[in-house]
């Protein structure tokens, strides 16, 4: 099962188990990379479940001012053995990013703009994931938009078909639609969506996700991601030895 039962979190999922010809098993390896929402929502039982899955590292895609426990969050802390790296994909004070991306942060339409405007940040994010031990949780606030963009890169680069990349993104949209607002950098209009509104949105944005996945190597070129980093990212999901190549 790709969906993970970590108490306190919804929309947490293993990136393993998706078909790819680049893996000797024919599928991405489980227990290598998980995607999800803000870690502060995990209860103590949730952390126990994450540890049983094998979490060793966290790469947090949020900006520094988004990080931290809120009054409504469980009274639980990150285990000392888990390495947390803050690797934001956004600079919300950047004038062009604010003008172009902020109005569409809940849509994959912004992904290519993020690549173009802030390549250094996104490259550093991918380098942080590549440097992590297998068993890494990648998350933002909702685990849908920033995490969706990064997950699309990881999966497509690992040879997962664009249609499967889209299905993974759609699963996160459906998991979060109609739920309480997640407290990201902008108003979350999806918090009020019905299933019909969610389906209509996904039909509208599917071409953006598919094009992004098809063009993933061009995306990595635009980000100037080193060959060694690309190899480690692919190995995380497709090599029996993980990132130890």
* Residue-wise DSSP of the chain: --B---TT-SS-EES-S-B-TTSTTSBPPTTSEEEES-GGG--HHHHHHHHHHT--EEEE-S-GGG-S--TTS-S----TTSEEEE--S--TT-HHHHHHTGGGTTSGGGHHHHHHH-HHHHHHHHHHHHHSPSSEEEE-SSSSSHHHHHHHHHHHHTT--HHHHHHHHHHHHHHHTTS-----SS--GGGG--HHHHHHHHHHHHHHHHHHHHTHHHHHHHTT--HHHHHHHHHHHH-TTTT--
CATH of domain 13-236: 3.90.190.10
User: Do the strands 13-14 and 33-36 form a parallel or antiparallel pair, or are they unpaired?
Assistant: antiparallel
pLDDT digits (tens, 9 = 90+) for 128-156: 999 999 999 999 999 999 999 999 999 99
Residue boundaries of the structural domains of the chain: 13-236
Residues of the chain below pLDDT 70 = 1, 180-187, 243-245
pTM: 0.95
pLDDT digits (tens, 9 = 90+) for 103-125: 999 999 999 999 999 999 999 99
């Amino acid at each position: 099962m790709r969906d993970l039962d970590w108490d306190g979190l919804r929309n947490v999922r293993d990136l393993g188990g998706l078909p790819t010809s680049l893996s000797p098993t024919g599928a991405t390896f489980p227990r290598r990379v998980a995607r999800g929402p803000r870690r502060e929502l995990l209860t103590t039982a949730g952390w126990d479940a994450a540890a049983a899955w094998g979490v060793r590292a966290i790469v947090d895609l949020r900006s520094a001012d988004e990080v931290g426990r809120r009054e409504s969050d469980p009274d639980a802390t990150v285990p000392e053995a888990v390495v947390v790296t803050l690797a934001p994909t956004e600079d919300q004070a950047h004038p062009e990013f604010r003008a172009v991306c902020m109005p569409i942060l809940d849509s994959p339409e912004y992904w290519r703009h993020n690549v173009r405007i802030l390549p250094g940040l996104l490259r550093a994010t991918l380098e942080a994931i590549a440097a992590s031990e297998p068993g890494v949780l990648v998350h933002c606030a909702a685990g849908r938009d920033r995490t969706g963009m990064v997950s699309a890169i990881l999966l497509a680069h690992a040879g997962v078909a664009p249609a499967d990349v889209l299905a993974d993104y759609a699963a996160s949209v459906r998991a979060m639609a109609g739920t309480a607002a997640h407290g990201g950098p902008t108003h979350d209009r999806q918090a009020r969506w019905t299933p019909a509104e969610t389906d209509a949105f996904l039909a509208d944005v599917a071409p953006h996700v598919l094009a992004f996945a098809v063009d993933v190597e061009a995306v990595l070129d635009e980000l100037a991601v080193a060959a060694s980093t690309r190899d480690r990212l692919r190995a995380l999901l497709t090599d029996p030895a993980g990132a130890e190549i």
